Structure 1
Amino acid sequence: MGDLGRFPAVRSKVPEVTALFWLTKILTTGMGETTSDFVVTTIEPVVGVAIAFILLAGALVLQFRTQRYVPWVYWLTVVLVSVFGTMAADVVHVQFEVPYEVSTAGFALALALVFLVWHRTERTLSIHSINTARREGFYWATVLTTFALGTAAGDWVAHVLGLGYLGSGMLFLGLICIPALAYRVFHANAIAAFWTTYILTRPLGASFADWVGVGPERGGIGVGTGPVSLLLTAAIIACVAVLTRRHARADRTSLAL
């Protein structure tokens, strides 16, 4: 954190990491998965991907134009990253017939490259120092890549390894506890623990969302991807409303000091 002195005293443009942050993040991963499936099975996939890209580009422009962290803008961008990242990973497998294990390795390599360039350029990967446009660019490139990686990894575990959606969800639920315990109990590096957890939220949320949404013939309950998307969207809106109130209260408190 000592490197922050080289930059203007601007607040980080990403939210504080709390339990509600992680809950909202997991909800967005599930919503992105089912919404992507619903869109590409309802309209022409190419059209769906194009629409998702345009909406994401618009959200990113809005996010970069804000001078501080605005909860609804930030989480709208995360949701659209989730939808587009899911579509990107699915296109690699379905349209280009790239095996899940290959796409998983490819996205993992891409993520490692983003981290490497980010760290060599800024000397930190901390989300608490997202206070310049360049760092924000690295941050959102990382977020997009983690969604694509998580999608590919989740599908690989569910389909290639044969665990199914519920089995995959339980596996990733166990895996996501490891960095949390490593940080809390063994005082592991906070940045490494954060990004490991962040990556794992994607296949965790998507696996359970798929399990609820898809039909029994695919190993799910069969509620439907459309209804699941609407339910998760409502839950995300509720979480963002709470986050907005908390952020506004924190702003008032800081101004009063």
Structure 2
Amino acid sequence: MAADLSPIDKAKFVAARRATQFVESGMRVGLGTGSTAAWLVKCLGEMVREEGLKITGVPTSTRTAELAREVGIEVISLDEARWLDLTIDGADELDGKMNLIKGGGGALLMEKIVATASDQMIVIADSGKEVETLGAFPLPVEVIPFGWQTTKLLVEETLIGLDVLGRTTQLRMNGDAPYVTDEGNHILDLHLKRIGNARQLSLVLNQIPGVVENGLFIDICDKVVLGHGDGRVEVRDFAAGLVSEDRYDFLDDGNVFTDISD
């Protein structure tokens, strides 16, 4: 199967597959949302079925919960788990300081709650998600439906005094109707082009009445696993100052990781 993937899907697959090495039996694991996180859930499901891995998963969206149950992972709520050993999730953008933009899939609120309720968060992504400065990807901001147009105006006024290159805001749509999150809220997508001070922007946005949460993840990520289309996968542990690289060989018989360097 893996040999038939496109380069971008290979990159996502190897990042997800490599990240499963951080998961141990008995763990309570936060399961992210998005295309790369879906690969992770499928890989973990395979380990549950074929290797006897025993984990409980806390999904960050209803679609992740459905996929997890489908592949055989026991699913519980965060209230039941209370605290997690590990969360593994994707990112829409990440910079060299481990700052992230998340929420392209509409699950940023649950993703941030689950990630911060974990001993460790690992981000998995294809190498194209790494940027020098955040902002090319629209920043999602979750807002309550009541008065959302007023909230949108307040956000636009606030952006005038901040270090961003663009200030266009759009209500995310689902066909002809506003997109609705799992929590019943709407999402404003902020087309900022460049975010000069992500920490400041995150703090200021969350002070605006009507804003529930924003898609900037600051000081939350502990490790990054970056996949490449040629099968290489890089693991960065920022706290330990370690970088390692492996390669996944897409062979018809016996796909295995081959250590390249430490």
Assess same fold via TM > 0.5: no
TM-score (norm 2): 0.25
TM-score (norm 1): 0.26
Query: Which of structures 1 and 2 has the larger relative contact order (alpha carbons within 8 angstroms, sep 6+)?
Result: 1
**Structure with more of its chain in helix, by fraction:** 1
**Structure with more of its chain in strand, by fraction:** 2
